[in-house]
């Protein structure tokens, strides 16, 4: 028996030594590395002491019992580190968790200083045993809290750490509960703790490998109280372990007890691994739905979970990603992607979780996919679409959606219009969908669509309020202009009377100079003047030439390339020149002085095309889509009001044209403006 115990403790010590050294070596990769390394090394010390005290002094040694308390304290510190940051800062929680093992340590040392060298008498005392049992219950409760608060993307690897610690502390609980109930120490079961330690170390190493060296993060806990399930599980565990301890005691046998203990731990660890698997849970859920319940879903629970997810406050508070999580939770899928309508022309992938092959894809809004969803409101099952395309008449899916990863495409309908759709990744357990599945998905899709539409409406309302603020700013500026005009009028009124007075002339010059400076500042704030300007027939070459010349006072100077054919449009000369000048100045601000800016004018059909190309810093697609044309969102700090690009696009669209941006970071940007041309006959009639 002692040979097997020595081998088991030695193997456990070697495994935790490797784990401790590796964790300390990578101590800067994650905040768990240092406490994991410390706990592992203390566990190594405990294994070494256990071997050195065999056979006669174990477990009669006070030093070994003290080392065990340090080991438990180190693992408690590790579990506290996995809790949310706000929880970690609560001193009362930290003291309450560390107090039990510290009290046990003090009792052990007090027992030693009273010259009682035999720890067996101390272990046999009921009060002392309950203190140790309470300490282990604290460890198991913290273990449950860590499991509940681990992010889903890290849970697959972290669950092996939790299962290992559950086996380690669970067997300790079994060991001490047996002593409490029977009144004596079963040396065979006590020596089996070495094998349990070795198994726990192997599980931890395996779990850390599955994390792929990713940096661990933990989400904020929504419930910091102790769950009732902890008490139920621990109470049941106490009863089962006490019963098992009783039978072990009755049956006896040295090697039989040792093997039985290892079998219990191995079976428990295997059960925890299997039950923590998402695929196993999915199978179990289907089994319950088929045989125990009339309906597959508890609709009240599903609805409350959907609303809770959509309205929850988390690390990632983006409504698009929350919508994906709400829909993916229905089938426990690990991937989903959201496409939303943008500017009535495109369906843009605005959020993506676990479907990298569809990321940043854009689809035309006017398509057979849109027509099919709006006319049928049906959910598209990709496997069925590929095997039986006749069930989806007049539907031609884009190539980015015909991937093996996508399982379902769910339309997001608001009233009778499509605002987007969600693609779900194939779950762990793919099953045949029934009418209940489709009804639940359709209802959830309607709710998600309403949330997304409310978010867009809220954003539009916010922009409207910003325009109101801009109107109030304009009113204040007009008030200042009125005062400036009053000053100028006073100078003109007194000029005929005092024009020969040198003092008056000097004062008039100062007044005019001050007015010019103030008006320049006001004009810089306004940026653009009144839009109600009469439209006339314009030659684009003339307007472009004027706008380009006005920008020659700074580097890089723009070069102009124009078609020989004169192109005419109907617009405001002042406004259009200001628009072109704004685009050119933006290009100059984004380009180094040694760079280039090319302004070109060409014709395509009945449209004129003005392109402003530079080799400046460029922009990414997310910035162009989300911020460039959003009013009052400026990257120029206090130098700009963030309405130039927005007004440029709105002015061009009101003139019947459009604006497109082609840009790449660190390469450059091409600003393309298209404008409708008027015929030569119209120009002659106007002349």
Residues 289-317: tens digit of each pLDDT:
554 445 666 677 787 888 888 877 654 56
pLDDT of residue 214: 47
Averaged pLDDT, 52-57: 61
Most confident option among 65-69, 240-244, 321-325, 407-411 = 407-411
Asked if pLDDT for residue 529 goes beyond 60, the answer is no
CA distance 19 to 16: 5
Q: Which residue has the higher pLDDT, 80 or 120?
A: 80
Query: In the prediction, which pLDDT does 227 show?
Result: 40
Q: Give the whole-angstrom CA distance, residue 26 versus residue 33.
A: 7
| Percent of the chain clearing pLDDT 70 (strictly above) | 70
pLDDT band at 280 (very low <50, low <70, confident <90, very high): low
Q: What is the pLDDT of residue 317?
A: 62
The answer, yes or no, to whether residue 216 has pLDDT greater than 60, is no
| Strand ranges across the sheet with 597-604 | 559-562, 597-604, 607-614, 668-676, 658-664
Which CATH number is correct for 536-686, 3.40.228.10, 3.30.565.10, 3.30.465.10, 3.30.930.10? 3.30.565.10
Residue 113 pLDDT greater than 60, yes or no:
yes
- In this structure, are residues 490 and 508 in contact, taking their beta carbons and an 8 Å threshold? no
- Which pairing describes strands 559-562 and 362-364: parallel, antiparallel, or unpaired? unpaired
Which of the pair, 532 or 210, is modelled with greater confidence? 210
Decide if pLDDT at 41 tops 60. yes
Window from 226-240, 315-329, 447-461 with minimum mean pLDDT: 226-240
Q: What is the pLDDT of residue 60?
A: 54
Burial of 681 (0-12, 13-18, 19+ CB in 10 A): exposed
Mean pLDDT of 137-154: 79
Helix (H) or strand (E) holding 674, with range, is strand 668-676
Long-range contacts of 591-598 (CB under 8 A, 24+ apart): 591/556, 591/615, 591/616, 591/617, 591/668, 592/556, 592/616, 593/555, 593/556, 594/556, 595/556, 596/556, 596/559, 597/556, 597/557, 597/558, 597/559, 598/558, 598/559, 598/561
156: Cβ contacts below 8 Å, ≥ 6 apart? 210
In the prediction, which pLDDT does 29 show?
A: 62
User: Residue 241: pLDDT above 60?
Assistant: no
For the cut 70, the answer to whether the pLDDT of residue 178 exceeds it is yes
Per-residue model confidence (pLDDT) at position 85: 62
Q: How many helices (H) and strands (E) does the chain have?
A: 24, 13
Q: What is residue 597's predicted lDDT score, i.e. its pLDDT?
A: 93
pLDDT band at 600 (very low <50, low <70, confident <90, very high): very high
Higher pLDDT, 252 or 351: 351
The string of pLDDT tens digits covering residues 376-399 is: 888 999 888 888 888 898 888 888
Quickly name the fold that domain 299-459 has. Beta-Lactamase (3.30.450)
> With 90 as the cut, is the pLDDT of residue 613 above it?
yes
Most confident residue range from 55-59, 79-83, 426-430, 528-532? 79-83
Q: Where exactly are the structural domains of the chain?
A: 2-215+223-276, 299-459, 469-526, 536-686
Query: pLDDT-based confidence at 611, cuts 50/70/90?
Result: very high
| Alpha helix ranges (H) inside 26-151 | 33-52, 62-82, 85-88, 91-113, 119-123, 126-148
Strands 346-353 and 559-562: unpaired
287 vs 98, which has greater pLDDT? 98
């Amino acid at each position: 028996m002692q040979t097997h115990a020595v081998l088991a403790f030695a193997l456990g010590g070697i495994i935790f030594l490797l784990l401790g050294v590796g964790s300390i070596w990578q101590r800067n990769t994650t905040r768990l590395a240092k406490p994991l390394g410390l706990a592992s090394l203390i566990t190594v010390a405990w294994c070494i002491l256990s071997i050195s005290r065999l056979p006669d002094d174990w477990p009669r040694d006070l030093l070994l019992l003290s080392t065990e308390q340090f080991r438990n304290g180190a693992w408690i510190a590790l579990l506290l580190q996995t809790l949310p940051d706000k929880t970690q800062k609560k001193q009362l929680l930290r003291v309450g968790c560390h107090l039990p093992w510290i009290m046990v340590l003090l009792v052990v040392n007090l027992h030693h200083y009273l010259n009682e060298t035999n720890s067996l008498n101390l272990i046999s005392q009921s009060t002392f045993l309950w203190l140790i049992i309470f300490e282990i219950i604290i460890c198991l409760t913290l273990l449950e809290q860590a499991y509940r608060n681990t992010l889903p993307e890290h849970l697959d690897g972290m669950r092996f750490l939790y299962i290992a610690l559950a086996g380690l502390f669970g067997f300790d609980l079994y060991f001490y509960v047996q002593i409490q109930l029977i009144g004596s120490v079963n040396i065979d079961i006590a020596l089996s703790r070495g094998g349990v330690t070795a198994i726990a170390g192997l599980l931890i190493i395996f779990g850390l490998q599955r994390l792929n060296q990713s940096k661990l993060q933990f989400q904020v806990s929504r419930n910091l109280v102790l769950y009732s399930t902890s008490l139920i599980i621990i109470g049941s565990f106490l009863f089962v372990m006490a019963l098992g301890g009783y039978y072990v005691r009755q049956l006896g046998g040295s090697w039989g007890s040792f093997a039985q203990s290892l079998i219990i731990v191995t079976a428990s660890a295997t059960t925890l691994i299997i039950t923590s698997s998402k695929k196993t849970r999915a199978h179990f859920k289907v089994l319950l739905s088929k045989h125990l319940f009339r309906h597959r879903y508890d609709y009240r629970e599903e609805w409350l979970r959907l609303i809770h997810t959509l309205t929850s406050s988390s690390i990632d508070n983006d409504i698009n990603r929350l919508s994906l999580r709400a829909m993916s939770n229905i089938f426990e899928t690990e991937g989903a992607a959201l496409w939303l309508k943008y500017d009535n022309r495109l369906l843009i992938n605005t959020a993506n979780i676990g479907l990298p092959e569809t990321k940043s894809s854009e689809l035309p809004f006017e398509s057979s996919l849109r027509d099919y969803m709006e006319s049928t409101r049906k959910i598209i099952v990709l496997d069925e679409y590929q095997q039986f395309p006749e069930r989806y008449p007049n539907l031609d899916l884009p190539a980015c959606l015909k991937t093996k990863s996508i399982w379902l495409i769910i339309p997001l309908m608001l009233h009778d219009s499509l605002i987007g759709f969600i693609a779900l990744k194939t779950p762990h357990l793919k099953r045949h969908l029934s009418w209940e599945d489709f009804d639940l998905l359709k209802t959830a899709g309607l709710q998600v669509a309403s949330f997304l539409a409310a978010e867009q409406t809220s954003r539009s309302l916010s922009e409207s309020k910003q325009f109101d603020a801009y109107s109030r700013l304009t009113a204040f500026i007009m008030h200042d202009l009125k005062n400036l005009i009053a000053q100028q009028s006073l100078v003109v009124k007194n000029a005929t009377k005092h024009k020969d007075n040198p003092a008056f002339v000097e004062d008039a010059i100062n007044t005019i100079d001050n007015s010019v400076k103030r008006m320049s500042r006001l004009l810089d704030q306004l940026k653009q003047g009144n839009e109600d300007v009469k439209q006339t027939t314009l030659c684009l070459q003339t307007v472009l030439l004027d706008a380009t010349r006005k920008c020659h006072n700074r580097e890089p100077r723009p070069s102009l390339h124009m078609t020989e054919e004169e192109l005419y449009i109907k617009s405001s000369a002042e406004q259009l020149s200001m628009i072109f000048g704004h685009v050119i100045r933006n290009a100059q601000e984004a380009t180094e002085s040694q760079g280039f800016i090319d302004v070109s004018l060409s014709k395509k059909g009945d449209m004129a095309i003005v392109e402003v190309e530079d080799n400046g810093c460029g922009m990414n697609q997310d910035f162009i889509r989300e911020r460039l044309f959003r009013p009052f969102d400026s990257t120029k700090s206090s130098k700009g009001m963030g309405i130039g690009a927005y007004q440029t696009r709105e002015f061009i669209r009101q003139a019947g044209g459009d604006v497109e941006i082609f840009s790449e970071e660190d390469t450059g940007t091409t600003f393309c403006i298209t404008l409708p041309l008027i015929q030569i006959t119209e120009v002659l009639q106007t002349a």
